[in-house]
Amino acid sequence: MSARPYRALLLSGPNLNLLGTREPDVYGTTTLDEIHAQATELGRSLATFVECRQSNHEGELVGWIQDARGKFDGIVLNPAAYGHTSVALRDAIAAVAVPTVEVHLTIPENRDRFRHRSLVAGVCIGRVSGFGANSYLLGLRGLIDYLRAR
């Protein structure tokens, strides 16, 4: 256990604010607010402060990643569609060198061909996909385990 609580930033990209009602057959019925509450509670049990944010704007996500340096020990990021398109997100993660775990509710490789490649995966310490809302919690656990092992 570290001498101080860890600080984790949980970021969600575009359209994830619609979870619970957006294509529930694909994404499930759990809302993003429910995921945030679960992640915050899990964080408490792991001696970790979890701050949760969502944006539909690529530049805002980039800004939050940049601001994380020196303020957060790690990031859990669901880039959503930006994971397949955003060199800017990739570059921000690489630039700040804050350990980042990529998460997805579904398995992108099992979906549309254009979703098969993640631009951010190469600069992340790990990736969790396919477990629905639980992907966030598994990603947070993985991040904390990684931080503790360092």
Which residue is catalytic, options 6, 82, 104, 136?
104
Residue whose token pair is 């499930």 = 28
Cα–Cα distance, 93 to 10 (Å, whole number): 13
Cα–Cα distance, 114 to 117 (Å, whole number): 7
Q: List residues bridging with 129 in a β-sheet.
A: 104
Which residue is catalytic, options 27, 36, 82, 136?
27
82 is catalytic: no
Sign of CA pseudo-dihedral 64, 144, 140, 37: negative
User: Residues near 106 by Cβ (< 8 Å), separated by ≥ 6?
Assistant: 26, 27, 129, 130, 132
Catalytic residue numbers, as ranges: 27, 104
